[in-house]
Structure 1
Amino acid sequence: MIMALTVALGLSACGSVDTAMRNATTSAPGVETAPHAQPATRADMVLSVQSEPYAVTQINVTVPETLKVSEANTYFPNADIVWREDPFGNRYEQVQAIVLDAATRGAASHDKGRPVIVDIQITRFHALTEKTRYTIGGTHDIHFYLTVRDAATGEKLEQPRLIETSLKAYGGARALEAMSRGQTQKVRITDHLAALIAQELNVRALPAPAEPLRTSALSAN
């Protein structure tokens, strides 16, 4: 089962972000909102400044329930999804809401040009456990596919990109100090993803042939 969430947009501004890693060696999303596709090799996956601007009219965020969730309070749980800042509940829905909020903000400045739909499929969302946050800190690791489609026809305009991004995660006294300023994990992750998605919508990737996605090596165990 796949959790899917959609928002239609009429949008406006976001900033810049550190460069994310784009991985072109694994399979791309096979979600209901986009055709199956496989990225080309890294050499073939040419990313460049887009020649035609996009007007983002809709964003779809999916979080496959085949992804493994962990509630273990260890330093680094072996899981695809680790998220603790919201109350205990449906982590798929919580992650989905965070990413949709970030993507909506990131697409806000992309309101002129060819009308497009942006599909995002999460493959990893690994924040800190309580134990790690209140001691050593670490990194927030977030991986997702981003696909751009024509809003009128649904035609895929770009090869799905697997984007792997990480953000320094505070621990101990620094985490408490950041929280006192309102810089929670959710705020920092949302800001980071919003800026990253805004940046990604300024570049374009080549189309690729179809193949289904294996959403998680962990889920096969």
Structure 2
Amino acid sequence: MLAGMTSTDPRNPRAAQLARFAGLVADETRAACLLALLDGRAWTASELARHAGVAASTLSEHLGKLVAGGLLAEERQGRHRYVRLADARVAQLVEELSAQVAPEAVARPRSLRESSAGSAMARGRTCYDHLAGRLGIVVTDAMTTRLLLSQDAGFALTDAGLAWFDAVGIGLDRKSRRPLVRACLDWTERRPHLAGVAGAALCRHALEVGWCVRIGSERAVKVTPSGERALGSLLGIEAATLR
């Protein structure tokens, strides 16, 4: 008999948990919902049904499974049912699973509209609550080059990096249970971008002050002229790399 197993407990409970998680995401409709919710916002069931291209009754059954499985959080306001990803940990799992999909396995766009939307997502998007795509990588690289962020043994803000956030006026919640900084593997760039408390605070600030704006109905964002000036001044990023 294998070590750690007894005749009364033959199975590894972690294996059972992993199997349940895999079963939850191994459905195209549920996967589509999880990817849509990476924008960090709450969606109604009807919005997700239209996005996934299924009937509302079908979507409701899938949402029930995702909520019961702890991947989604649910709240109701009047007649509306809203769902969002349960937490940043779930978002990290979904994004990193997406990054493991081989490029040749990703469906080619079927129309000019799909191609344009895909290009916009690759240029810049939100990954739950932080910046991703080429924009996220450019910002992460600039912070590393200016010694604000260290990537020597995982991601870590340097003393200069902490001072930079203070100087820019971006508050960091250092009492949060989330890591202050974390590397998140980007599914289009195949390189890590900045996540964690600092990544979320930077993204929130960029949207609030108008450095970036959301475009379209997906997670895509673009840098505004004022954002180009700010990122150029603060991080030495050339405007051409942000377009």
TM range (shorter): under 0.3
Q: Which structure has greater strand proportion?
A: 1
Q: Which structure has greater helix proportion?
A: 2
Between the two structures, name the one with larger relative contact order (CA 8 Å, sep ≥ 6).
Answer: 1
Q: Which has the larger Rg?
A: 2
Please give the TM-score of this superposition, normalised by the length of structure 2: 0.24
Please give the TM-score of this superposition, normalised by the length of structure 1: 0.25
